[in-house]
Amino acid sequence: TKPAVRVAVTGAAGQIGYALLFRIASGEMLGKDQPVILQLLEIPDEKAQKALKGVIMELDDCAFPLLQEVTAHGDPLTAFKDADIALLVGARPRGPGMERKDLLTVNAQIFTAQGKALNAVASRDVKVLVVGNPANTNAYIAQQSAPDLPAENFTAMLRLDHNRALSQLAAKTGKPVASIKKLVVWGNHSPTMYPDYRFASIDGQDAKTLVNDEAWNRDTFLPTVGKRGAAIIEARGLSSAASAANAAIDHIRDWVLGSNGEWVTMGVPSDGSYGIPEGIIYGVPVTTENGKYTRIKDLEIDSFSRERLDFTLNELLEERDGVKHLLG
């Protein structure tokens, strides 16, 4: 059998953690022949650690054949030891009366510490996915705090937005989601993101021609995908958890096992293409193979799209400027 892969998960006792860990342990993320070790991090707080123990009891009770070991941690320096994959899910949510700036600051502290810990103890080619919000900027902070690790291994989750866009487009055209190829969601994981089907095909037909409804794109599709998170909170009284966990599984599975030539959206450090300053963590279309992602280059950006790409970029630049003074 294969040697086990070490997967560190933060915020492991939270909602997304609860929807995520059992699927990792059952082999849905890394394959049904891939043993895993789970290294779970929660805040040192007694209540959180106790809840984490409860989750581990349930993992034990599943008797997953692929789950070789599970450990509980209150310190990233032990949780990330030799980690091959790190899913950074835990973050400080916005509390009552908390300004965006305060949210950025508290999370900058968390992700600076976690980036340093990864830098110190994780596998030298650890693959990092940041889910905790503000995901792109948190990923940027973690990356900046881990100078000894490859920058391209720090990614943020845009896959939930990508999947939301797929399902909206499928509903509009009456076609199955699996028939849609080459969709992308550009930019920040926030309502400023830009879901874009200009390059997409559906059942081999050009998606734009098939939809043929610019007003729907602008007035329905973009806001529906962009505000889907808020709509889920409104309906459920809680933020998306199962769909977020599912997207995290999709992101890592494709990164590790390959996307078979299909485009997927990943938030990755910019290489300067599409006018996105180098290093900014921005959602772009990629294909993945052999544990690496490759950006889709040289797509045509029309003036409407340019505006949308810049709008979401400006938000990311503001976020970066808001935390600049906190980075060494």
Give Cα separations from 236 to 16, 97, 134, 168, 233 (angstroms): 14, 22, 21, 19, 5
Cβ–Cβ < 8 Å for 316, 136: yes
Segment interacting with ligand NAX (CB under 6 A) among 129-137, 191-199, 280-288, 307-315: 129-137
Site for ligand NAX in 210-269 (CB under 6 A): 229, 239-241, 244
* Antiparallel, parallel or unpaired: β 201-202 and 180-181: antiparallel
Q: Is 246 annotated as a binding residue?
A: no
The nearer residue to ligand NAX, 110 or 141, going by C-beta atoms, is: 110
- Does 157 bind ligand NAX (CB under 6 A)? Our answer is yes
Choosing from 115, 132, 226, 283, the residue that interacts with ligand NAX (CB under 6 A) is 132
Task: Kindly identify the residues of this chain, within the stretch 21-80, that bind ligand NAX according to CB under 6 A.
Answer: 41-43, 48
Instruction: Give the number of residues written for the chain.
Output: 328
- Tell me whether residue 189 is one of the annotated catalytic residues: yes
Minimum distance from residue 276 beta carbon to ligand NAX (Å)? 19
Alpha-carbon gap, residue 91 to 238, rounded angstroms: 16
Catalytic residue (choose from 73, 189, 251, 325): 189
DSSP letter for 187, please. Answer: B
Interaction of residue 283 with ligand NAX, rule CB under 6 A: no
Query: Strand pairing of 36-41 and 5-10?
Result: parallel
CA–CA distance from 115 to each of 76, 103, 132, 166, 293 (Å)?
9, 18, 14, 32, 21
Residues catalogued as catalytic: 189
Query: Residues forming the annotated binding site for substrate?
Result: 94, 100, 133, 164
Query: Residues forming the annotated binding site?
Result: 11-17, 94, 100, 107, 114, 131-133, 164
Q: Which residues bind ligand NAX (CB under 6 A)?
A: 10-11, 13-17, 41-43, 48, 89-93, 110, 131-133, 135, 157, 160, 189, 229, 239-241, 244
